[in-house]
Amino acid sequence: MNIISALHLDWANLIAGFVLGSLAAYGAHAYYDRIHTAGRLSLIRKKYGNLAGAYSNYRPDGSQTGGSVELTQRPDGSFYVAGLNADRTLDWESVLWMDEKFENTGIARYMHKPGHQHGVQFIRYVPETGELHVKATRESPGPPLEFHHIWRPRK
C-alpha cells in the first residue's frame, strides 16, 4: 500500500461536515447571544422601570423652569424622554440608556425640536428621592454651554 492511497480523503463528506458544523455553531452562538441579551435587558427593565413617568424640571437652586419631562420606557429597556414647555408643547426629546456597569447612571442625547441644537445628558438617579440629576452639555455649533437640572417626580 502506498502513501497516497493511505491519505485518501472523502472530500464530499469533509466539506459537508464543515458546512453543517459551521451552521450549527453559528446557530448556537446566535441563540446564546439572544438569551444573554434578553436576560440583560430584562434586568435593566426591572431595575429602572420605575423611572417611567412625569417629572417637574428644577434648576439646582430649587427654582422651577416651568417645564416638565416625561419618561416612557421602551421594550429594549431604554427610555424615550420628552422635554415639555409650560404649555405642554414639545421642546426637546432624547433617548436615555441607563448604564449596566455604573449603578444608577445613564446617558442620553437630546435634540431641540425648533432648531438644530443638540447635545449629551449625563443622568444620575437618586433612588432615595426618586430624582434624576441631569448635567447636559451642548454639542451643536455655538459657544460652549453646560447646564444642570433636577427632575423631580410628580405626585
- Cα separation, 56 vs 26, in Å, equals 48
- When pLDDT is cut at 50, 70 and 90, the band that residue 2 belongs to is low
List residues bridging with 69 in a β-sheet: 55, 83
Question: For the segment 52-72, what is each residue's pLDDT rounded down to a tens digit?
Answer: 999 999 999 989 988 999 999
Listed residue (7, 78, 92) closest to 45, CA to CA: 78
pLDDT of residue 30: 82
- Three-class SS of 9-54: CCHHHHHHHHHHHHHHHHHHHHHHHHHHHHHHHHHHHHHHHHHCEE
Show me where the domains of the chain are located: 3-46, 50-153
Q: E strand or H helix at 98, and its extent?
A: strand 90-98
Q: How is residue 127 annotated by DSSP?
A: T
pLDDT, mean of residues 24-52: 80
Q: At residue 39, does pLDDT exceed 80?
A: no
Q: At residue 4, does pLDDT exceed 80?
A: no
Question: For the segment 60-110, what is each residue's pLDDT rounded down to a tens digit?
Answer: 998 998 899 999 999 888 999 999 999 999 999 999 999 888 889 999 999
- Cα separation, 75 vs 98, in Å, equals 14
Q: Looking at per-residue confidence, does 13 or 7 come out higher?
A: 13
- When pLDDT is cut at 50, 70 and 90, the band that residue 7 belongs to is low
Q: Are the beta carbons of 91 and 81 closer than 8 angstroms?
A: no
pLDDT of residue 33: 76
Pick the CATH number of 50-153 from 2.40.110.10, 1.10.1240.10, 3.30.300.30, 2.40.128.30: 2.40.128.30
Phi, psi (deg, nearest 5) at residue 44: -65, -45
Residue 139, number of CB atoms within 10 A of its CB: 14
Phi, psi (deg, nearest 5) at residue 35: -65, -45
Q: Is the pTM of this model over 0.75?
A: no
- When pLDDT is cut at 50, 70 and 90, the band that residue 119 belongs to is very high
